[in-house]
Structure 1
């Protein structure tokens, strides 16, 4: 993709986010949630859609063994919990705050009314859903076709933000939660991070990873 098309796509994505944000801010109610507090639980009736104003939300599902498997992360500017409203199905997953978060809640009746009557809002929701489907397809392809080390490196890059030539990752997920996302064991995640630290590819503390040189990092794994 050339720079012109990339810029056009980014502008389109920003416009879609702006539409959704304006609807939630105008019609929804803002609430601050504590770290680890649940926004909704599995099997709840869908009573609202939600928008992450600040913080970080994990969308997880319980396994047969009772462990929580993290499927998605919802960052500031992202809507979540709307699929069950549109399909009128009980919640299959739970939403939990990984840090103190501000979330805007738009109750179900009003959300559905706006989705029906406001064409711009409906289109923005459709575009968001389509993009998430493509992201999920890319994730599945990554999990199937790439080795574990590459999957972990790719996931860290998704979580991180660029800063003066490095990528900084604030670790809000445990090693076990990361292992569920990329499809490996907790021990493998821990061993890889320790190995990369010993090789000088990352600076690693309990809550932060800094990838010193992303190009060298990917070349070395």
Structure 2
């Protein structure tokens, strides 16, 4: 059973979407309900009515679609501190994609009308929504360009760097673990490839000393060298 944010005992991450917006985050928590979902549970389906937006407190969520051929291209992986389900809520449209938990998750969810009211009452929150949606559009544009112009190796390295952005900044040049554990099938869905090609490409990068792979865990051994590798001409 849901309860409002003022009664919560969770550890709420202050970074991410609400970084620097403590007052707005406090107002958000007042009208938010908490929700726990299990691994693989669907948060919402494509074409659902958009009556809620979500803040991810714990866990990982993938945003994906199912194609006519049964494939499931994955557009985003949402991590703690991020909002998702934003675009359609603001526009009042039906969902354009589905959201599924990759791990057990803890969410804060807010009704559409409450969120729109918060945006009207807190201009900095409205500005943050615009900034975040703009960045996501640019990310999708870059992904489309990558699929059209880059090989699988380049797309895979860019994905690993993107997923590990915050960890790389904190490590200051040292090895980092990719924070989201993905299957090779999920990586293939995010890079427009197939599982066999992803497996072979990961093995090749491991032989070069760029990464190490164990089960579903990937470590970037030298992020700087990976950046350098992206500047190399593709074979």
**With structure 1 as the length reference, what TM-score do the two structures score?**
0.83
User: Which of 62, 69, 76 pairs up with 2:73?
Assistant: 69
Out of 137-146 and 65-74, give the one that drifted further. 137-146
User: Is the CA contact 1:170–1:207 (under 8 Å) kept in the aligned structure 2?
Assistant: no
SS class of match (1:15): coil
Match status 1:198 vs 2:207: yes
1:119-164 deviation line (CA, Å, top 9, x unaligned): 2322221222222223333333333333321211111122222347
SS class of match (2:95): coil
| 1:102 corresponding residue in structure 2 | 106
Give the gaps of 5 or more residues in structure 1: 1-9
Give the root-mean-square deviation of aligned CA atoms: 2.5
Task: Tell me, in whole angstroms, the C-alpha distance in 2 between the residues paired with 1:219 and 1:124.
Answer: 32
Taking a change above 3 Å as real, the CA distance of residues 165 and 108 of structure 1, as seen in their structure-2 partners, is: same
Task: Please state how far the C-alpha of 1:218 moved relative to its aligned partner.
Answer: 4.5
SS class of match (1:72): strand
Taking a change above 3 Å as real, the CA distance of residues 217 and 113 of structure 1, as seen in their structure-2 partners, is: closer
- Count of residue pairs the alignment pairs up: 210
Taking a change above 3 Å as real, the CA distance of residues 196 and 123 of structure 1, as seen in their structure-2 partners, is: closer
Matches within 5 A, 1:116-195: 116-160=120-164, 161-162=167-168, 163=171, 165-195=174-204
Task: Tell me, in whole angstroms, the C-alpha distance in 1 between the residues paired with 2:229 and 2:49.
Answer: 48
**With structure 2 as the length reference, what TM-score do the two structures score?**
0.79
1:32-87 deviation line (CA, Å, top 9, x unaligned): 21111111112211121111111111111111122322111111111111221222
Task: Tell me, in whole angstroms, the C-alpha distance in 1 between the residues paired with 2:115 and 2:229.
Answer: 48
Give the gaps of 5 or more residues in structure 2: 1-14, 231-235
